[in-house]
Structure 1
Amino acid sequence: MVGLIGRQWIGTRPAIVLLRCTIQLNQAQFRLECCGPQGELPAEAAFHAVQRAGMHAGVPSNARPLMQLTANFTLDELTRTTTGLPNVPNRSERAALLALAEHVLQPLRDALGQPVRVTSGFRSTAVNRAVGGVPSSQHRSGQAADIHVSGMSAMALARRIVALGLPFDQLIEEFGQWVHVSYGPLQRRQQLIAVRREGRTRYLQGVM
């Protein structure tokens, strides 16, 4: 456990930021908890404080803050991207990710008794554009995740989610490879199958 003190401007006043860093060697990541005089810092301020203070203490500038959302899901897991582009959710987007984890992902993991792997969660505008996502994608708001489970087909996973009665908004079995699942205020319980036909993506109704 390494304690670092950094100075970060929040609004029009400076605040002392305490960074507690725990190195996770097995994942080559850093757990960073950021707080100021008024408690936890907003994600954006904390992220920049981490970068500035961390560089003076041997912490890589690309270290990512981890936040435990539920027993088995972290903020890092739901914001990870291979694009190399910034992907830091704001407060409302973090709240949406928390709701998704609490109401869908963690109950699913508990029911299956095995890990649920997230291949894509929150996407910033730049990340969403880079991966070819549509502007209206629920990934942009933090409401959706693409998932898979080892040893289960995408269709079997989609059907299990429906059978469990989880309160999803949208569920898409995509190309026989992964499942897109979202949680939001509408709770449409929409079920779709994405297939490629004649070079285009088409959506079929229902997974059951």
Structure 2
Amino acid sequence: MQRFLLSPNFYLDEFCRSQTAERLGRSIVVEQDSEIFQNLKQLCATVLQPLRDELGVSITITSGYRPKWLNDHIGGSQTSYHLFGLAADLVVPGVPPLQVAQAFERLSLPFQQVINEYGSWTHVAVPPIGEEPLRQSLTFAHNGEQRCVKAGLHNVVQA
């Protein structure tokens, strides 16, 4: 299978992987002439590649584009930017998620939203092409059985 570059260090297939889809026997397909493909290129060009260039290490995409059937199956938000190829969840080996999220802010990258999710991974979304970025920063943590959402980026203590 041919790999398609979205930016110097990111390939389309990195955003189309899903263990859940594999378990369901389904594939995630993004056509090169689609809006999703253009959105993924924007995501890479505006926030992911600049972060990769700054950190100088590889970034692992744990969740990228989610078709509606996959988003529904995992209980994702019906307004998730993942549905449009405008968001990614990621980890950077050796760099805590809080530091990754803070790097997006420090570099003044045009993100819509960056989230330190449970101290386990970083979520980043970009606005649709032509829209101004909101630059919203959040932290998700657990408070017992409840999800706690705090404005800003904070350390998350693992229980």
Match of 2:69 among 126, 129, 142: 126
Root-mean-square deviation (CA, aligned residues, Å) is 1.3
CA deviations on 1:166-185 (whole Å, 9 max, x unpaired) are 11110000000000001112
What aligned pairs does 1:23-42 form with structure 2 within 5 A after superposition? 30-31=1-2
User: Per the alignment, in what secondary structure is the counterpart of residue 104 of structure 2?
Assistant: helix
Distance in 2 (CA, whole Å) between partners of 1:175 and 1:197 is 10
Larger radius of gyration: 1
User: Per the alignment, in what secondary structure is the counterpart of residue 47 of structure 2?
Assistant: helix
Q: Which residue of 2 aligns with 1:144?
A: 87
User: Per the alignment, in what secondary structure is the counterpart of residue 141 of structure 2?
Assistant: strand
* Structure 1 unmatched runs, 5+: 1-29, 32-65
Distance in 2 (CA, whole Å) between partners of 1:203 and 1:80 is 27
Q: Which residue of 2 aligns with 1:57?
A: none
Q: Which residue of 1 aligns with 2:153?
A: 207
Distance 1:186 1:132, change over 3 A: farther
CA contact (8 A) 1:89 1:124 kept: no
Give the C-alpha shift of residue 159 in structure 1.
Answer: 0.9
What aligned pairs does 1:43-192 form with structure 2 within 5 A after superposition? 66-83=3-20, 84=22, 85-89=26-30, 91-184=34-127, 185-192=131-138
From the two aligned structures, give the one with the greater strand fraction. Answer: 1
Give the C-alpha shift of residue 196 in structure 1.
Answer: 1.4
Distance in 2 (CA, whole Å) between partners of 1:79 and 1:124 is 9
Give the C-alpha shift of residue 141 in structure 1.
Answer: 0.6
Q: Which residue of 1 aligns with 2:144?
A: 198
% of aligned pairs identical?
Answer: 35
Give the C-alpha shift of residue 202 in structure 1.
Answer: 2.2
* Structure 2 unmatched runs, 5+: 155-159
From the two aligned structures, give the one with the greater helix fraction. Answer: 2
Q: How many residues align?
A: 145
Give the C-alpha shift of residue 75 in structure 1.
Answer: 0.6
Give the C-alpha shift of residue 98 in structure 1.
Answer: 0.6
CA contact (8 A) 1:148 1:154 kept: yes
State the 4+ residue runs in structure 1 displaced beyond 4 angstroms: none
Give the C-alpha shift of residue 127 in structure 1.
Answer: 1.2
Letter in 2 for 1:204: K
CA deviations on 1:2-30 (whole Å, 9 max, x unpaired) are xxxxxxxxxxxxxxxxxxxxxxxxxxxx2
Distance in 1 (CA, whole Å) between partners of 2:141 and 2:150 is 8
Relative to the length of structure 2, the TM-score reads 0.86
Relative to the length of structure 1, the TM-score reads 0.67
Give the C-alpha shift of residue 107 in structure 1.
Answer: 0.7
